[in-house]
Amino acid sequence: MSDRSPNDAVSGESALFDGAARAPEVDAARVTGGSPDNTHDVIISLEDVDVYYGDFHAVDSVSVPIREKEITAFIGPSGCGKSTVLRTINRMNDLIPTARVEGSVTYHGVDLYGGNVDPVQVRRHIGMVFQKPNPFPKSIYDNISFGPKIAKYDGNMDDLVEESLNRAALWDEVKDKLDDSAYALSGGQQQRLCIARAIATSPDVLLMDEPASALDPIATLRIEELMYELKQDYTIIIVTHNMQQAARVSDRTAFFNIDIQNGQRAGRLVEFSETATLFTTPSEKTTEDYITGRFG
């Protein structure tokens, strides 16, 4: 667990446990992903994960390790299950009545789907930022303080709000209008506000489901720069349709695809490796076809 927490009530770990073909060579300058380090601990492990929505088998037997303080990207065509897999990591699929998860999802060695694990506590440790900015209909200040208040944070709330906005590279832009509605912010600012809101409860992990897909290029660049800064303190998993974005920001990349057998379709993990390797010399022909634009 991280030692960044301003308050044990917010981030105390005990709360969770209680309740063949080769692609053409790519110009290395285009691949600017981070520098993965195999000495980093695996803090999240998915092993043989299957996800069902009723009788529909959405994700079939996905296994992938997530290392701390790295950015892992999930890429693949629409409908391949990458967002579904992302949501299994903090039990967001629990909110869908027909959803069922089989296999193993562990966090620091703890089974996240164990009977003694509270999904609300899971989401405090594993925060999520969605595709479309979704600020609360409250002031900028109240958006940040909302989560810590629920978690009974007893530190200095003003300091926590400032720290969270600073971490999200937003403080200088909003410090004089904290009482203004969050809806008055631009789309890019709203997304950074949502990131600040997510990190205000001191999570270990940030899940980002296409966080820049609705933003203009300048705002997208700000989000990418922010992710690169945040990985010094957080483990980040990002779903993106933008392969250039995955190449720019991630340390490791998982490529998912749709597999059709006996008329049934399911999302499957095709390949997982360091980002530079996957984008320059993928081991699977399907991966090569996707990253070179032959489908998807």
Q: Is 194 helix (H, G, I), strand (E, B) or coil?
A: helix
Say yes or no: domain 8-291 is CATH 3.40.50.10480.
no
Block means of pLDDT (10 residues each) for the chain, length 296 residues? 40 38 37 74 97 95 96 96 96 94 96 94 93 94 95 94 95 97 96 95 94 88 90 95 92 95 88 95 95 84
Tokens linked to 85: 């897999």
Query: DSSP readout, 74-137?
Result: EE-STTSSHHHHHHHHTTGGGGSTTEEEEEEEEETTEETTSTT--HHHHHHHEEEE-SS----S
Neighbours of 171 (CB within 10 A): 17
> Quick check: 165 and 148 in contact, CB under 8 A?
no
**Rounded Cα gap, residues 83 and 226, in angstroms:** 21
pLDDT for res 32: 58
Domain-by-domain residue ranges, the chain?
8-291
